[in-house]
Amino acid sequence: MLLTAETSALLLVDYQGKLMPMIDGAETVLNRALLLAEAAHLCGVPIWATEQYPQGLGGTAPALVPWIERVFTKTHFNAAAELDLREALAPWRGRRIILGGCEAHVCLLQTALGLHSLGWPVTVVSDAIGSRRASDKGAALHRLTQAGISLISAEMAAFEWVQHRDAPAFKAVLTAVKKGAS
């Protein structure tokens, strides 16, 4: 099933300043999240983020902040367990939730499974997720696929949202893809 901008929402999970330096391949993970956020913005996809214990882990990575419409502070590892996030998502029922985030095997995984169990269609952007250890990310990807959650890349999402080379956002998205190639 192809993504469309009109039926997607992007949720960026815990790309936090003090956590990112500990993530395996952090530069690439953040780079792919930036591409995802910029493409979503250019295509009119709503963009939200979560932060786990921001007092200790810091706020969302500064490079992502300009793209984000709303940040949800959470105490559960599973963001779907947070009442304010569920209430904010309610008017968007039926949209596919596109997820990127850290740590892949904890907060990202639990959020994906939590949203999925609540009946939301969920897709995880595999090159925009990370964990401190590559083996933990691999285990998360395996578990997500076992649960029937789709995996895609940031470029797949970007070009599916654009749909056509004559789309108004095409050139800007292509520029973002070229800028973010890594």
pLDDT of 13: 98
Pairing of strands 8-13, 150-152: unpaired
Could you tell me the CATH number of the domain that includes residue 146? Answer: 3.40.50.850
CA distance linking residue 82 with residue 102, whole number of Å: 17
Q: With contact defined as beta carbons under 8 Å apart, do 59 and 20 qualify?
A: no
Mean pLDDT over residues 125-152, rounded?
98
Residue 142 has pLDDT above 70, yes or no: yes
How distant, in Å, are the alpha carbons of 38, 118, 123 from that of 149?
A: 23, 13, 6
CA distance linking residue 11 with residue 83, whole number of Å: 15
pLDDT of 181: 57
**Confidence bin at 179 (pLDDT 50/70/90):** confident
Domain that holds residue 123: 5-179
Number of domains in the chain: 1
**Confidence bin at 34 (pLDDT 50/70/90):** very high
Residue 182 has pLDDT above 80, yes or no: no
